[in-house]
Structure 1
């Protein structure tokens, strides 16, 4: 290891959407702070944030049925859907601020308006969807949502899905036109280009191998140059571990008590992508179905229009699978290496609880292309094998921890922010809704880790995010105002589309 030690104010590990968001927020709040970013790959947004590695939905809970759960009394719990939608509104406000301030340009390169639909078959599912619609459509966050169980209306909404459909099962959908497609890979790269212009030191092909506490309370990182193998030491007062699935291993190396008794369960994924432009042209929406029994919530089947490299694409999936890697570019020993004395019982308990899930994932891995095509034909009855290719998606590592409600070794299907008691280090674990709520998650991090600055920073935070400190659910009059302004700035309104 080099004896030279480089000191900085903030270190961000991982050049994904989370580090990009936090770095951009901090540069607006305290421009004179020095920030260094370490990324082991060659470019920003190459792992979980990459456009081919995630759903790119712009998760606002408009169509994702796993965010609205039917309770034992038959009512629909929509609290999570409302919370996620509000968080997405926060993201749109921040992105609008960046565009209006000319910090990033051409929002159409990362966000596009696109209808979001939920689609179900079978009498019970149709009943559930109608109750979900009735629980949401009165809320201003879900204004404009429509429900239909009329095959004729559904043919207008989703012609590719309804064409050649011969099933006599009841079928229904909800549709809302305020949905989006977000290219988080493109947005991540835009933000890092902006950070580079702001003199943030971005070191690609640099891997963080170890993290330890220094005597003065700062953090010392052992960083290896991937090309040369040279090892450097870097210290910072604050460290954010935003390395996607790799965050857990680095959190464990930090040794903070808050990182104990936490494990990770890796889930891999595949998408099918349509290469026939004639088929792609027949579908313009994101259509989410219901997860199969035993499938993890992140495996909800969906047929998505995507805009990648300014080209319209069509993806179906995801097909879940199992790999012991914590990153797509990770090691086959990641899972084994994450088992520590403090979390071994938690991990064993999770393994015992999730035998059906493990079996399901293994079955998914073993599917042939034709078997995957059969699942696709549940969405597109006329789908032809020659029109579709398989794309390997990113790795997701679901958090395993002990909870009061779930007991020991409970598998979590969300994002978790873990921070030291003194706020000097934080890590983001988990997956969906992930990138779509990045701004809200990073605002939570700022509150937790920099409480002494919040009062001073509040005016700037409100400038960047007009609803900061206010619940949109409690101030519904703000919702229309915010959606109108962000829609205009980000090019999501029909009015602006006509002008352009």
Structure 2
């Protein structure tokens, strides 16, 4: 395939069919779909940094969880009557299966070079205390009744939980009530690897990639196209600015999407705001520690914590090397991008969204208190959060890394006031000529469904003709029954079921567990 460096040095055209702003997984996914559907369309990807996938799609800026609602408690809220609502979990699970279907198709056709971006990694939920154990049991019973979650396991037996994840039980107080659920069908996904492979595929089939170029403004032309003004960020650029026009623009710039959509002046973005949240992870590459844990284990969030701050102890595989990662610890920065400007929050304020921003702040005082508490917490206090998951954790094994910047969506509610929304939101112009994605988790895991939504909303005339082609790539789009769709997805995308983990000896799993995981991808 053509290298990204070579592609970015070619002279770009000044008029194209499609411009994708941002070199992350969203732009890569939409560009790949469009290139499959309309191979004659010209596509340009504009990225402000010196390579793609360096912001939220970078593996160390996210948890790498293939979000399928197998372990995340925030997708299964408890109702007032004590029942557990699984509707959101079902939707997210279906959306992740759709992503896996596309990835499988791209692998089968050679668009993706290999499956090194995904590894079979069990997903677990672990809770402590009688009330949480009771809730997890009810959650398990509600999910287990649905065909998509029929492989979910539940246990309060410490010996069983130790076989699943020895680090959770070693040296733990024997009188503390604990429970866990486990799904062997979970995955760890390196979205940076996936993004680079998709963009390499795009470039090799004619797309342009323009690195170190920042979109400074988006304006409508008289003929209905969009003119983008670009600034060359390379140190020796001559000239510094240039323009490109396009029939369709997608803003996949992560936290930078809001100000760019505001620049375009579309009425649909009025009232939207964004609340930035930063964070940190703890990471270890100590092979003796890493070999004892092969799972992504999610716990229960503190009161007021945003969903992205749910604590989890994760297996990560990045560039073929295995790690454990714990976090995230929430923080605050006014930047909308990790490598962005400190004035990001201030410059996004408009007369039409100040009310939304203030209203959301007043409604979420518990979130404010949580963030203040996280910022004020001593390092020892933060490390204790890891020890609640892993009692044997020792500070000498762990290092602190900075997580990616997330921007939570703020929008007007039915009363015209602001509400903080945890999730993603696609914003499109009425004529479909420009669209953007706002928000965070589950984000990358559901990128395919989100981008199919963009296609349907922005290309209503073309979409009916595209649907059959899309269904060959993603059979679940045929709209069959959920259980049939899940079986088809498993057969086409999941491959063989992962082999069960070997027995732990004295609470320790053999290192071969980790070494063999590359053989159970997709």
Task: Give the structure-1-normalised TM-score.
Answer: 0.95
Q: Distance in 1 between matches of 2:188 and 2:345?
A: 32
- Give the match for residue 334 of structure 2: 324
Map 1:245-324 to 2 at 5 A. Answer: 245-324=255-334
> 2:357 and 2:420 mapped to 1: Cα distance?
10
- In the alignment, structure 2 segments of 5+ residues that lack a partner are 1-11, 501-517
- Matched position secondary structure for 2:179: strand
For 1:395-440, what per-residue CA distance to the aligned partner results, in whole angstroms no more than 9, with x for missing partners?
0000001112x86110000000000000000010000000000000
Matches within 5 A, 1:14-413: 14-107=22-115, 109-166=116-173, 168-227=175-234, 228=237, 230-404=240-414, 408-413=417-422
Q: Kindly report which structure 2 residues correspond to 1:420-435, keeping only aligned pairs within 5 A, or say none.
A: 420-435=429-444
8 Å Cα contact 2:118/2:521 also seen in 1: no
User: Are 1:112 and 1:180, in contact at CA under 8 Å, matched by a contact in 2?
Assistant: yes
> Is the 8 Å Cα contact of residues 370 and 385 (structure 1) preserved in structure 2?
no
Instruction: For residue 378 of structure 1, report the CA deviation from its aligned partner.
Output: 0.2
Distance 1:347 1:313, change over 3 A: same
**Displacement, 1:193?**
0.8
Query: What is the CA deviation profile of residues 178-220 of structure 1, one whole-angstrom value per residue up to 9, with x for unaligned ones?
Result: 0000000100011111111011000000000000111111101
Structure 1 CA distance for aligned equivalents of residues 151 and 445 of structure 2: 21
Distance 1:419 1:363, change over 3 A: same
Quote the offset at 1:5 in angstroms: 8.2
Q: Residues 112 and 499 of structure 1: is their aligned pair in 2 closer, same or farther, counting only changes over 3 Å?
A: closer
Q: Distance in 1 between matches of 2:521 and 2:233?
A: 48
Is 1:466 the counterpart of 2:491 in the alignment? Answer: no
Note closer, same or farther for the CA distance 1:171–1:136 as it changes in structure 2 (3 Å cut).
Answer: same
Change (3 A) 1:97 1:410: same
Q: Give 3-state SS (helix, strand or coil) of 2:389's partner.
A: coil
- Aligned partners of 1:165, 1:95: CA distance in 2, in Å? 40
Whether the 8 Å contact between 2:75 and 2:86 is mirrored in structure 1 is yes
CA contact 1:302–1:318 (8 Å) conserved in 2: yes
Task: Give the 3-state SS of the residue equivalent to 1:191 in structure 2.
Answer: helix
SS class of match (2:388): coil
* Correspondence for 1:440: 449
Q: Deviations over 1:14-37 (max 9, x none)?
A: 000000000000000000000011
Aligned-CA RMSD value: 1.8
Distance (Å, rounded) in 2 between the aligned partners of 1:146 and 1:261: 44
Is 2:19 the counterpart of 1:11? yes
CA contact (8 A) 1:5 1:233 kept: no
Contact 1:162 1:380 in 2 (8 A): yes
Q: Identify the residue that residue 480 of structure 1 maps to in structure 2.
A: 487
Change (3 A) 1:373 1:436: same
CA distance in 1, matches of 2:193, 2:128: 35
Tell whether the 8 Å contact from 2:475 to 2:485 is kept in structure 1 after alignment: no
Residues 53-104 of structure 1 show CA distances to partners (whole Å, capped at 9, x for unaligned) of: 0011000000000000110111110000000000000000000000110111
Contact 1:487 1:493 in 2 (8 A): no
SS at match of 2:185: coil
Instruction: Provide the rounded CA distance (Å) in 1 between the counterparts of 2:464 and 2:521.
Output: 41
The secondary structure found in structure 1 opposite 2:417 is: strand
Alpha-carbon offset, residue 6 of structure 1: 1.1
Quick one: distance in 2 between partners of 1:459 and 1:289? 41
> Displacement, 1:45?
0.4
Partner secondary structure for residue 212 of structure 1: strand
TM-score by length of 2: 0.91
8 Å CA contact 1:268, 1:394 repeated in 2: yes
Partner secondary structure for residue 349 of structure 1: helix
Q: Are the structure 2 counterparts of residues 247 and 351 from structure 1 closer, same or farther at C-alpha, using a change threshold of 3 Å?
A: same
> What is the DSSP-based 3-state SS (H/G/I as helix, E as strand, rest coil) of the residue aligned with 2:334?
coil
Total equivalences in the alignment: 491
Distance 1:139 1:259 in 2: 37
